[in-house]
Amino acid sequence: MKLLNLLSWPYVRKHKLRTLLTLAGIVLGVAVFTGMHTANLTMQSAFQRTVDRIAGKAQLQVSAGETGFPEDVLERVQSLREVSAAAPVIEAALATPQGTLLVLGVDMTGDSSLREYNLEGDDEDVIDDPLIFLAQPDSMIVSKQFAARSGLGRGSKLALKTMGGQKTFIVRGVMKATGLATVFGGNLAIMDIYAAQAVFGRGRLFDRIDVGLSEGVSVREGAAKLQALLGPGFQVEQPQSRGAHFESMARGLTVSINLASLFALLIGVFIIYNSFSIAITQRRGEIGVLRALGASRGQVRGLFLLESVVLGVAGSLLGVAAGLALARGVVPGLAATLQDVFGHAVSASDITISPPLAAFSVFIGVMASLVGGYIPARSAASVDPVKALQKGRNQVLSEGENRWRRRAALICIALSAALIGFGDANAYFYPGYLSGIASLILLSPSMAMWLARALRPVLKTVWPVEGALAADSLIQAPRRTSATVTALMLSLALAVGFAGVSRGIYDSLIEWMRHTLNPDLYVSPSRSITAKTFRFPASMAGELRSLEGVEEVQPVRNARVMIGGEPVMAVSLDIGAIARRVRVKPVEGDRDEMVRLASEGQGVIISDNLSLMRGIHRGDILEIPSPRGLLKLPVLGSSVDYSDQQGSFLIDSKLFQRYWGDDTANLFRIHVKTGYSREKVRQRILKKWSGSHEIFVYTNEGIRDYILNLTGQWFGLTYIQLAVALIVAILGIVNTLTVSITDRRRELGVLQAVGGLRNQVRRTIWLEAVSIGVVGLVMGAGAGLVMIYFNLHMLHRDLGGLRLDFTVPYAFMAAMTPVVILCSFISALWPAESAVRASLVESLEYE
Amino acid sequence: MSKWIAFLLASCALGQDPRQIVEEVQRRNRSTSQRYEGTLTVTSAKSRVTQKRWRYERMGSFGDSKAALRFLEPPEVKGVALLVHNHRDRSSDQWMWTPELQRDRRIALQDRSTRFFGTDFSFEDLEERDAGQFDYKLLGEEKLDGQMCWKLESRPRQTKRSQYTHSYLWVRQDLYVYVMVEGYKDQELLRRIAYRDYENVKGLWTARLLEVLDTKRRSRTTMKLEKLEYGVPMKDEDFTLQALRRPL
C-alpha cells in the first residue's frame, strides 16, 4: 500500500490523460456488459412483473399457446372441485398517443375473486354501475396514470382503434395507481371480456384462464388435475412460467448480448494490457531503483497487480453507472423491437437494477483488469536492475517471445480444427470457437509486425521521412503497438462477424421473400404484421374475393403453440392454394407429395430452422397440442421459412380450424387479376373497410421492406455494442499514440532540431496512427472472416437454426475502411499537436 | 276448541324442529308461478342513489324452479336479463344476457358471492334455498318488529358452495315467513336482509319491501315489489336462453 502511495499515485497524477484512457477501456467494457444485460433483464422482469400483477391471486394459468381456445373450456375448468375461481382473460395491446395501452378483457361478474381493482375515491365500487359496465360494450376502466396522461375522468370518452375502426369508449371507472393499475407503466385498461372478443375480432375464444385453487389444494395437485381434465392440448402452468417462455423467445438477443459483451471486455483487457505495458516501459528506471533497494520480484509484481485492481475497481464502478445509463437509453428501443419482432408488448418505464449483476460486472471488470495487467506485472517483476536504465530494450518483443506465441497459436488452430471436426456437440464447438479466437490473439503481434514491415516501403515511397519514421515506430515498439492493434482487430472482427451474418440473413431473407411472398397485396388488421391483438373474421375473405380485380384471397392464421415446452409458430393456410402460387424447393421431402398430403391434413411441413434446432426430420411425428387434444402428425418434409426465430410449421387451415375452433385470420394474401391495377385494388379494399375496420393494405414491396426494416431494427441493437467496441479500440490508439510521442519525444525533438518542420512531425504521428488503423483493419478483416464462420455455426446450431451461406460483407468492409482510417487519424490530432507544441529544449533533454 | 288445541300442539311440535319450520315456510310460500316488477334503489355509503327496475318471473317452487329477471330501466340496461335454474340437489345455474353485445354468459358458481349488478344482493342471495341443502339449528325465540320469531341458524352442507359459513334466520311464528336473514362469514356479518310490508296476495304472505344492508360497504339496497301476481300461466320455453334474447 505504501508503494502504491509512493510510486503509483505520483505516476497517475503525472499521466492523468493516460490513466483516464485506460480507465475508459474498463468503463466502456463493463458499461456494455452491464448496460446490455440490464436492458435485457429489464425487459424480462417487466414482462414477468406484468404477468404477475395481472395474474393477481391466480395460482395457475390455462392456455393453449397463443392460439386461444373455445369458451366451453371455462366451464370445464370451473367444474373441477380443486378450482375455487377461474377467470377468463383476453389481452390486447393498442397504440395510443400515450404509448401502448394494455387492454385486459375480463369477466367482471367474477373476476374480483382473483384480481383487485382498487378504484379511485373512497367508494369501493369498481365502477359507477356494474350493470351498465356489462351492458354497454363501450365500457372501460382505466388506470389513474393513463387517465392523468390522457386527461380522462369518469364519464370521459376515449377514442381507440379497434377491429371495427376508430371506436369511442366511455371511462366508467378509474383505478387507483397501485397494484394491478401499475402494470405496463400504468397504461392499463379493463373491459368486459365479451365486449373485448368483439372489439378485437377474437370470435368466441379466450386467451387464457386464470385459476385460483381451493383451500388445501397444492399448486402441483391442482395443475395435475387440470392437466388431466383438459388433456395435453393445454398448458397448465404457474404465471411465472410465461416469463420463461418470453426468455426463450428472446434467447437470440441474449446470446448476441453475451457475445458482444464478451468482446467488449476482451478489447478492454487489451487496452489495459497496452497501458500497463507502456507504464512499465516508462517506469522501468523506477522499478530498477526499487529492485536495487531490495524490493523483491513478488513485491514489484504485487504493486502492479494492485494498481490494476484499483484501476479495475474504479473503472468497473464507473462502468456499472455508465451501463445503467446505457440501459436506460436502450430499453425503449429494445421494447419496440421485441414488440415488433415477437408481437409481445412489453412496457418498462424504469430499468431493473440487479445487485448481483452489478456485483458480477464489477467482478469481471476487476478480473479483466487483472488479466490485462498480469503479463506487464510479471515483466515488471523480471526487470533487471542493471538493464533498467537502458532505453528501448523493453519495447522489443524478442524473437523467442514471438516464436512461442506463434507456436501456441498453431496449437490453438490445430485444437480448434480438431474440436470442431471431432463432433457437433456444444462441448466441442464452443471450446473450438474459443481456441480459434485465442489463436488469432496469439498471432496478432507477429501479424502486426509483418504488416508494419510490409507497410514501411509504401509509406517511405510516399513520404520518405515521415513514412519511414512512422513505420519504424511501429516496428521498433511492438509491445506498444500490438495490444492496440489486437484490440482494434477484435472490435473489427466482431463488427465484420456481425456484418457477415447480417448480410447472410438479409440475402437469405430476400431469397425466401422472392419465392414465398409473391402475392400482390397483403391485408393486415394491425400496422405490425406480428401483432396478435386484432384478427379478421373468416367472412372477410369472401368479401375480399368479391371485390373487382381480386383474383385470389389466401387467409393466413399464425400463432405460437407450445411444442416440447417451447413456443413454435403454427402457420395455418390453405396449403394447396398457396402451393399453386409458391414454388419452394424443400430441404427435406418431395414437394408434390408434401403439398398433397399436407393439404389433405395428413401431416405438416416444418421450417428448416425447427428441424435443425429440434432435430426433427421427415417421417417423425410432431405432437402438437391443440384445444381439441394432442394432434400427432407426421412431418412430411421441411423447407426454408423465416416466419419465426423459434421455428414454424405449416398446417392446413381446415385441420387447424377443426382442432383450434378458430377460423379468424391474421393476414390475407391477395393476388390481383391480370390487367388490373394493384394500387386501384388496394384503394378499393381500403375504401370498403375504412370506417368499419382497422385495416392496413401492404403492397408486395411494402411487406418486403417491412420485414427488412424489422430485421434492421433487430440488428440495430447489435450495432450499439459494435460502436462501443470500436470506441474502446480507438481509445487504445489514442493511448498508444500518446505514449509513442512521450517515448519519442527526444527523437521528435531531434527531428525538429535538424530542421524538420512541424508539419512533418504532425504527419509522422498521423501516419503512425493511420498505419495502426490499416494494420488493425487488415487483421480485423481476416479475423472477421473467421468470426463469420463461427457466428454462422452458432446461428445454425443454437440460435435460429438458420442455414446461411458464408457471405463476405464486402460493402461493410469497404465502408469500415475510411471510418477506421478517419477515426485513427482523428485520434492522432491531439497527440500530434501536443508533440509539435512541446518545448524543443525539454524534448532534447528528455530521458 | 279441539281444533285450536290441535293447531297449537302442531305449532309446538314444528317449533321443536328447525328443519320443519323452514320447510313449512317454503310450503306456505309455494306457488306455481310468480311475477312482479321490482324497483331497486341502491344507496351507497356516500348517499349516492341509483335506481333500476326489473321484471321478475318465476315458474315452479322452491328447489325446483326457473326464474327470469329482465331489467326495464334505466335505458342503458334495458333488456339485460338473468336466467336462473334452481335445483334441489345443487346450486342453481345462472346465465346473463346482454342485448347490446348479443351475448349470453354463464355466471360461474364461484362468482355467486359477487354483488348482483351493483346492488347489495349477491348472486347467491337470488337463489332459492332448498331446505335440504342446509343444516338447521333452533337458537331460540325473539321478538322482532313487534312479532314473535324463531331464530334459526343455517349452515350449508358440504356439497353446497356458499359465501356464508352460516346464516341466522328469523321466522315469524304466526305467518311462517322470514322477517330477517343475516349472512356471516365466520364471525363477520356480511349481509342483512330484512323483509317488510307483508301482504297477503292470493293466500300467500309476501314481503313487498326487502332491504339489504352490506355491512362491509355500508351501502343499502331496497327492493319494492309491484304488480305482484301468483299463478300466472307460464311455459318452460319462457325460461331458456333463446327466450332471454327476445326483445322486451
> How does pLDDT run across A718-732, given as a tens digit for each residue?
676 667 667 766 776
Least confident window among A600-614, B3-17, B220-234: B3-17
Output the nine-digit C-alpha cell for A214.
381451493
A385-426 residue pLDDT tens: 666 555 444 444 455 566 788 888 889 889 888 887 777 677
Residue A606 has pLDDT above 90, yes or no: yes
B49-79 residue pLDDT tens: 888 999 999 998 766 789 999 999 888 889 9
Per-residue pLDDT at B11:
44
Average pLDDT over chain A reads 81
Query: How far is it, in rounded angstroms, from Cα A156 to Cα B140?
Result: 54
CB-based contact A109 B107, cutoff 8 Å: yes
Distances (CA, A) of B2 to B5, B6, B13, B14, B16: 5, 6, 16, 18, 21
Q: What percent of chain A has pLDDT over 90?
A: 10
User: Quick check: A16 and A307 in contact, CB under 8 A?
Assistant: no
CA pseudo-torsion sign B123, B126, B127, B130:
positive
Compare all CA atoms of chain A with the CA of B51 and give the residue at the minimum distance: A129
User: Quick check: A667 and A522 in contact, CB under 8 A?
Assistant: yes
User: Quick check: A118 and A181 in contact, CB under 8 A?
Assistant: yes
Per-residue pLDDT at A377:
80
- Three-state SS string over A204-217 comes to CEECEEEEEECCCC
A33-47 residue pLDDT tens: 888 888 888 887 777
User: Quick check: A483 and A772 in contact, CB under 8 A?
Assistant: no
CB-based contact A195 B101, cutoff 8 Å: yes
Per-residue pLDDT at B14:
47
Residues of A in contact with B162 (CB under 8 A): none
How far is B185 from chain A, CA to nearest CA, in Å?
15
Output the nine-digit C-alpha cell for B243.
327466450
CB-based contact B71 A124, cutoff 8 Å: no
Average pLDDT over chain B reads 83
Give the start-to-end residue ranges of the domains of chain B. 2-244
How far is B94 from chain A, CA to nearest CA, in Å?
12
Q: Does A130 touch chain B (CB under 8 A)?
A: yes
Within the 211-270 window of chain A, which residues sit less than 8 Å (CB to CB) from chain B?
Answer: none
Within the 385-444 window of chain A, which residues sit less than 8 Å (CB to CB) from chain B?
Answer: none
Per-residue pLDDT at A841:
63
Specify the higher pLDDT residue, A553 or B89. Answer: A553
Residue A336 has pLDDT above 60, yes or no: yes
B81-85 and B64-73 strand pairing: antiparallel
Crossing angle of helices A700-743/A297-342, nearest 10°? Answer: 170
How far is A74 from chain B, CA to nearest CA, in Å?
9
A648-684 residue pLDDT tens: 999 999 999 988 888 888 899 999 998 899 889 999 9
In chain A, the N- to C-terminal Cα span, in Å, equals: 28
Any idea what the Cα angle at residue A52 is, between residues A47 and A57, rounded to 5°?
A: 165
Q: Cα-flanking dihedrals φ and ψ of residue A463, to 5°?
A: -125, 90
How far is B101 from chain A, CA to nearest CA, in Å?
6
Instruction: Give A462's Cβ-side CA count (13 Å radius).
Output: 10
Residues of A in contact with B76 (CB under 8 A): 129, 132, 135-136
Least confident window among A446-455, A645-654, A733-742, B73-82: A733-742
Q: pLDDT tier at A618 (50, 70, 90 boundaries)?
A: very high
CB-based contact A110 B105, cutoff 8 Å: no
Q: What is the CATH number assigned to the segment(s) B2-244? A: 2.50.20.10
Residues of A in contact with B109 (CB under 8 A): 78
CB-based contact A132 B77, cutoff 8 Å: yes
User: Quick check: A706 and A529 in contact, CB under 8 A?
Assistant: yes
Distances (CA, A) of A844 to A45, A468, A744: 62, 21, 10
Least confident window among A510-519, A709-718, B8-17: B8-17
Per-residue pLDDT at A534:
79
Per-residue pLDDT at A666:
87
A267-294 residue pLDDT tens: 777 777 777 777 776 777 777 777 777 7
Q: Cα-flanking dihedrals φ and ψ of residue A639, to 5°?
A: -145, 165
Residue A315 has pLDDT above 60, yes or no: yes
Compare all CA atoms of chain A with the CA of B162 and give the residue at the minimum distance: A84
Listed in order, strand segments (DSSP E) in A513-645 are 521-524, 550-563, 566-573, 604-607, 621-626, 629-639
Q: How many CB atoms lie within 10 A of CB A455?
A: 21
**Can you state the percent helix, strand and coil of chain B, rounding each to 5?**
20, 50, 30
How far is B246 from chain A, CA to nearest CA, in Å?
16
Three-state SS for B42? strand
The closest of A330, A326, A351, A336 to A34, measured between CA atoms, is A326
Query: How far is it, in rounded angstroms, from Cα A717 to Cα A80?
Result: 47
The closest of A659, A597, A609 to A634, measured between CA atoms, is A597
Residues of A in contact with B117 (CB under 8 A): 129-131, 134
The closest of B94, B84, B86, B182 to B132, measured between CA atoms, is B86
CB-based contact B110 A86, cutoff 8 Å: yes
Per-residue pLDDT at A426:
74
For A198-247, the DSSP string reads HHTT-TTEESEEEEEEPTT--HHHHHHHHHHHH-TTSEEE-TTHHHHHHH
Residues of B in contact with A195 (CB under 8 A): 101
Q: Does A57 touch chain B (CB under 8 A)?
A: no
The closest of A820, A809, A798 to A497, measured between CA atoms, is A809
Q: What are the beta bridge partners of residue A167?
A: A160
Q: pLDDT tier at B184 (50, 70, 90 boundaries)?
A: very high
Residue A752 has pLDDT above 80, yes or no: no
Crossing angle of helices A745-753/A758-794, nearest 10°? Answer: 140
Output the nine-digit C-alpha cell for A624.
402438437
Q: Does A1 touch chain B (CB under 8 A)?
A: no
Q: Cα-flanking dihedrals φ and ψ of residue A552, to 5°?
A: -145, 145
Q: pLDDT tier at B223 (50, 70, 90 boundaries)?
A: very high
Q: Cα-flanking dihedrals φ and ψ of residue A6, to 5°?
A: -75, -40
Residue A556 has pLDDT above 90, yes or no: yes
Q: What percent of chain A has pLDDT over 70?
A: 85
Q: Does A198 touch chain B (CB under 8 A)?
A: yes
Q: In B, what residues contact A, Cβ < 8 A?
A: 44-46, 48, 50, 52, 71, 74, 76-77, 80, 96, 98-101, 103, 105-111, 113-115, 117-118, 123, 216-217
The closest of A475, A412, A406 to A444, measured between CA atoms, is A406
ipTM of the complex in this document: 0.80
Q: What percent of chain B has pLDDT over 70?
A: 88
Q: Where are the alpha helices (DSSP H) in A129-192?
A: 130-135, 144-150
The whole-number average pLDDT for the span A502-521 is: 84
For A263-325, the DSSP string reads HHHHHHHHHHHHHHHHHHHHTHHHHHHHHHTT--HHHHHHHHHHHHHHHHHHHHHHHHHHHHH
Total residues belonging to chain B: 248
Residues of B in contact with A136 (CB under 8 A): 76, 100
User: Quick check: B154 and B139 in contact, CB under 8 A?
Assistant: no
The dihedral over CA atoms of A27, A28, A33, A39, expressed in degrees to the nearest 10, equals: 110
Per-residue pLDDT at A290:
75
Compare all CA atoms of chain B with the CA of A121 and give the residue at the minimum distance: B46
A579-592 residue pLDDT tens: 888 877 888 989 88
Per-residue pLDDT at A725:
66
B30-46 residue pLDDT tens: 888 989 999 999 888 87
Residue A18 has pLDDT above 90, yes or no: no
Query: How far is it, in rounded angstroms, from Cα A826 to Cα A730?
Result: 9
A128-171 residue pLDDT tens: 677 888 888 889 988 888 888 888 888 888 888 777 777 889 99
Least confident window among A187-201, A353-367, A744-758, B149-163: A744-758
Q: pLDDT tier at B7 (50, 70, 90 boundaries)?
A: very low
Per-residue pLDDT at A597:
93
Three-state SS for A140? strand
Exposed/middle/buried for B115, CB within 10 Å: 0-12, 13-18, 19+?
buried
